[in-house]
Structure 1
Amino acid sequence: MKTSVVLNQENLSSVLSNVKVPNYNRDEIITSIVHIGVGNFHRSHQAYYTDMLMEQFGVTDCGICGIGLLDYDRKIYNILKDQDGLYTLMVKELDGTYSARVIGSIVEFIFAPENPLAVIEKIAHPDIKIVSLTITEGGYNLNEATGKFDFSNPVIIEDMKNPRSPKTVFGYLTQALKLRMERELGGITIQSCDNIQGNGDVAKKALTDYIKETEPDLLPWFEENVSFPNAMVDRITPVTVLEDKEILKEEFLIDDQWPVVSEPFIQWVIEDDFKAGRPVWEKVGAQFVENVIPFENMKLRLLNAGHTLLGMLGALYGYDTIDEAANDPDFEKFLVDFMDIEVTPTLGDLGEINLKDYKKSLVDRFQNIYIKDLISRICSESSAKVPIFLLPTIKDQITGKGNISRANFVVAAWCRYNDGVDENNKDYEIKDAMSDRLIRAAALSHKDPVEFLKIEPIFGDLIENKDFVESFTIALEKLREKGVKNCVQDINATETNLS
């Protein structure tokens, strides 16, 4: 019986032939990309595209240097250090089969809390053309209601007091860009890969506000030499669980401390606005366009909002994974009607995109029983997700006097979710930067449902819309009285699918 191989550069030649491994010389790779936030999604998406580019076309100047900014990142830093930056991507197909590929595009990694100056110097290195980001929706430090940078954040205050020992992405970028200016280096691109509409615009807004306040003399150079292309990213990438590591070890004989699991579908649509050039990612499937907004709207309002919908309803009913909720006939119909009746009218002209096929593919992806995407992951940090994924549809439908009953029901379900217990009296943790405020507002909503809508950073002035407030109030009261399943069945029975 063969034994598993510990994953590292030295052991690559011993990996089974049914696993793709880097055949390029990683010692010859030039690092031109710094990536901040090396989580599972980055490793299943951008790092995967880059690995394919190196493997299939022999490109050697697009190596990635990962940056871990938070103490939480020490684990991935230590693991990738042990594994020479290598990790395994396992793709779970719809039929339950697996494929495995060892990714080699991350050739450096710096753990920022141990050496802040090394991060600043790396970003300021002449070879670096792109700084890419996956720092989550809430990582941009903008007030959702006002759009303004939150200078009251204690970590931001600390960065402003200690600019040479930063802790936030804004502190690091500002100091590195200042060095690039002083050394008369060329321009650079900051590329957001987060699930935010206009993610490049959001990154630019946040960093511009920070620079104006902390290094105003840098601003003219910054505006001339730094670009922020918007992009749409898509690949369902669940949390890695012990079972995944065991399957990798048993079926592929690879001992990987932190492999990544994803669905087969992948998409990356990017505005072609790069100050210092870029990898030819289009050779391996990325799409470069002049305007990414239609693609963003489609993905955020359908896929991401659909995830949130299934997460909230599924959590209340007692499901653990998204596929369980998506394969529930009542929740499936509710999801399909939400996409057809409430979201589709807000999307506008999508050109050659076949929206009907795209929506059908989403349902299939959600229902993939082999992608056990945890509902707890989808529901985490919802205070940053709901304003981006769900509220724009509600606002557009209000403006167009369209239907908002399902979207409003999901908002009500989110309020009910913050009670912290499902309909089987099973407790769960509210994982959210605003958890204290959400839990308090949900508690107050038992007496007055409108209390939940008073969270101004999330809902802004929506509370002034009588139709929205009335619809939400009715939905929440029925939800607490009848339960999620009965309410969904009532909505499904009384409203016709208009697609």
Structure 2
Amino acid sequence: MSKLDKSVLSTPPSRVALPSYPRETVTAGIAHLSVGNFHRAHQAVYLDRLLRDEDQRQWGLVGIGVVDNATERAKAQAMHEQDGLYTLTTCPPDTEPQVQIVGSIIEYLFAPDDRAGAIARLTDPAIKIVSLTVTEGGYNIDEHGRFMLDAPAIVDDLQRAVPETVFGMVTEALRVRRDKGVGPFTVLSCDNLRHNGRVARTAFTTYANARDAELGAWIEANVSFPNAMVDRITPATSADDVLRLDAASGFEDHVPVFCEDFIQWVIEDTFCAGRPALERVGVQFTSDVDPYEQVKLRMLNASHSMIAYPALLMGYRIMCDAMRSDDMIAYIEQFLAYDAEPLLTAPPGISINEYGHLLLQRFRNPAIQDQLERIASDGASKLPTFLRDTAEGVLAKGGDMRRIAFEIACFVRHLGGKDDSGESFRVTEPHLSDEDRVLAADPDPARALEMSAFAGWGLSDAPAFVELFTKTRSGVETQGARAVLKTILQAR
């Protein structure tokens, strides 16, 4: 097995595709904060394709790790030792996987080791875009859409000479650029959020105004925050996956990635400092991302969550295994057809019905062993983003709320970390407060509707829904998720 670094680019095994450009000619024009698997299977891949064009080679990537933990430190070390290279295995549902080496990340920094150095890198005039994937809950926004200046991490950061949060690092870099006359960069969110550009603008400008009102006004007037919709199913990579992927590629890669073959990126064409010609490699630029975003969030992401919680309780751990259940398929088909789709308007070039059928095919892909624990993680942030609009819409028109009630009941039940057979699974809820956990455990089942994740949905103010939820939650607790799902399907 060959060690993966830049030396292999001249003598590769034939079964692995190489970057199709001389990597030494690439310079960095984009800095990406928080370099997770999704970024490396999505944005970095589009740029890898674009760098084939000689006139686009100023758009290489600087990856910047921002979270300080053992996993992220190991990733930073691996990216350094591998010269920013990694293998990507793309897995179609019906044909052999394709392996490539992605070369678009030409530099990698680990900010916790040198915050000042990371900020200085962002002040380079060549950096025209700062993109980020900090997760749905990473923008520090409350249920009213306000940036929480009183969050302890933000309070501390505002007092530091060298800030440590993403908001502080970007704001400080923009301050230096303004003072030096370098000009702004575009801040491009690549997270699964409704109006992610607007959310990013709220977060960064509120932080900046708290630090320096004059700087905040300059950022509001000069920095672009485009909305964007991103899509590609990219599982977490386990230790076993690393062994499997490396055996197939022939490389000793400590940070391999695998993903489905579907990929999509729609971006609002608003960039204050220029942008790469990504339309050449399939990215869609538009003046209005919202219709694409709504379809994706309220169909794909919502369906993911609708499956994850009941499936975990039923004993499943992998998405494609859960999708072998006829009841699970029928449940999601009903959710899409009766709950989500009627409330959506199709964007240009998309059939909502066909999109729904494609989702089911993607979820069934046996090559994508996507972990339900990953999909279920941070539901306190995901459910308001993915499900709230549909829940409010169905409630407003007096529709059938049984599937929504079942989903919320399963989410609350999953917080206990055990399925209906008593087997344990991992629960990751970093944005669930102690008060939320008390509400979830209250003897009155309906108190769970007062959790912060459901604030503003109007559910606890609808007596008929409260009654339905109480009955559904009691059924999930006493009979199990599988039995309750059967009654929902039979009742239609």
TM-score by length of 2: 0.96
CA contact (8 A) 2:381 2:431 kept: no
SS at match of 1:155: helix
2: CA distance between counterparts of 1:461 and 1:396?
A: 10
CA contact (8 A) 2:206 2:216 kept: no
**1:383-398 correspondence runs (5 A):** 383-398=380-395
Alignment counterpart, residue 273 of structure 1, candidates 270, 280, 283 = 270
CA contact (8 A) 1:419 1:442 kept: no
What is the Cα deviation at residue 438 of structure 1?
Answer: 4.4
2: CA distance between counterparts of 1:96 and 1:411?
A: 37
1: CA distance between counterparts of 2:354 and 2:227?
A: 24
2: CA distance between counterparts of 1:468 and 1:268?
A: 37
SS at match of 2:355: helix
Aligned residue number for residue 397 of structure 2? 400
Paired letter, 1:46 = Q
Write the deviation string for residues 257-305 of structure 1: whole angstroms up to 9, x where unpaired: 1100000000001110111110111111111111111111110111111
What is the Cα deviation at residue 103 of structure 1?
Answer: 0.3
1:201 paired to 2:198: yes
Aligned residue number for residue 355 of structure 2? 358
| Count of residues in Structure 1 that have an aligned counterpart in Structure 2 | 488
Paired letter, 1:307 = H
1: CA distance between counterparts of 2:280 and 2:45?
A: 13
What is the Cα deviation at residue 85 of structure 1?
Answer: 0.2
Aligned residue number for residue 222 of structure 1? 219
Distance 1:468 1:261, change over 3 A: same
What is the Cα deviation at residue 428 of structure 1?
Answer: 2.5
Deviates more, 1:80-89 or 1:339-348: 339-348
SS at match of 2:174: helix
Aligned residue number for residue 422 of structure 1? 419
2: CA distance between counterparts of 1:302 and 1:205?
A: 26
What is the Cα deviation at residue 40 of structure 1?
Answer: 0.1
Write the deviation string for residues 221-243 of structure 1: whole angstroms up to 9, x where unpaired: 21221011101100000011233
Aligned residue number for residue 233 of structure 2? 236
2: CA distance between counterparts of 1:215 and 1:388?
A: 30
Structure 2 residues not aligned, in runs of 5+? none
1:329 paired to 2:326: yes
SS at match of 2:404: helix
Aligned residue number for residue 176 of structure 1? 173
1: CA distance between counterparts of 2:416 and 2:109?
A: 40
Aligned residue number for residue 88 of structure 2? 89
What is the Cα deviation at residue 398 of structure 1?
Answer: 1.8
CA contact (8 A) 1:15 1:253 kept: no
Aligned residue number for residue 454 of structure 1? 450
1:43 paired to 2:61: no
Deviates more, 1:348-357 or 1:208-217: 348-357
SS at match of 2:56: coil
What is the Cα deviation at residue 245 of structure 1?
Answer: 2.6
Paired letter, 1:365 = R
1: CA distance between counterparts of 2:147 and 2:246?
A: 46
CA contact (8 A) 1:32 1:64 kept: yes
SS at match of 1:85: coil
SS at match of 1:71: coil
Alignment counterpart, residue 152 of structure 1, candidates 142, 150, 153 = 150
Structure 1 residues not aligned, in runs of 5+? none
Aligned residue number for residue 102 of structure 1? 101
Alignment counterpart, residue 20 of structure 1, candidates 17, 20, 23 = 17
Aligned residue number for residue 284 of structure 1? 281
Write the deviation string for residues 406-464 of structure 1: whole angstroms up to 9, x where unpaired: 122101110111122110111223211144444433221xx201221112354235222
CA contact (8 A) 1:96 1:370 kept: no
What is the Cα deviation at residue 120 of structure 1?
Answer: 1.3
Distance 1:11 1:319, change over 3 A: same
2: CA distance between counterparts of 1:438 and 1:309?
A: 20
2: CA distance between counterparts of 1:134 and 1:147?
A: 19
SS at match of 1:227: coil
Aligned residue number for residue 135 of structure 1? 134
Aligned identity (percent) is: 37
Write the deviation string for residues 178-203 of structure 1: whole angstroms up to 9, x where unpaired: 11111112232100000001000000
CA contact (8 A) 2:392 2:457 kept: no
Deviates more, 1:58-67 or 1:36-45: 58-67
Please list every run of at least 4 consecutive aligned residues from structure 1 whose deviation after the TM superposition is greater than 4 angstroms. 435-438
Paired letter, 2:448 = F
Alignment counterpart, residue 296 of structure 2, candidates 278, 288, 299 = 299
What is the Cα deviation at residue 247 of structure 1?
Answer: 3.1
2: CA distance between counterparts of 1:461 and 1:196?
A: 17
CA contact (8 A) 1:64 1:107 kept: yes
CA contact (8 A) 1:418 1:438 kept: no
CA contact (8 A) 1:120 1:172 kept: yes
Aligned residue number for residue 260 of structure 2? 263
Write the deviation string for residues 42-85 of structure 1: whole angstroms up to 9, x where unpaired: 00000000001013566211011111111122221111000000
1: CA distance between counterparts of 2:169 and 2:261?
A: 35
Aligned residue number for residue 467 of structure 1? 464
Deviates more, 1:280-289 or 1:391-400: 391-400
CA contact (8 A) 2:20 2:52 kept: yes
CA contact (8 A) 1:70 1:113 kept: yes
Distance 1:347 1:302, change over 3 A: same
1:370 paired to 2:367: yes
CA contact (8 A) 2:409 2:473 kept: yes
Distance 1:204 1:334, change over 3 A: same
RMSD: 1.5
What is the Cα deviation at residue 485 of structure 1?
Answer: 1.1
What is the Cα deviation at residue 322 of structure 1?
Answer: 0.9
Deviates more, 1:94-103 or 1:303-312: 94-103
What is the Cα deviation at residue 8 of structure 1?
Answer: 0.2
What is the Cα deviation at residue 152 of structure 1?
Answer: 2.3
Aligned residue number for residue 335 of structure 2? 338
Aligned residue number for residue 406 of structure 2? 409
SS at match of 1:219: helix
2: CA distance between counterparts of 1:92 and 1:456?
A: 38
Paired letter, 1:264 = D
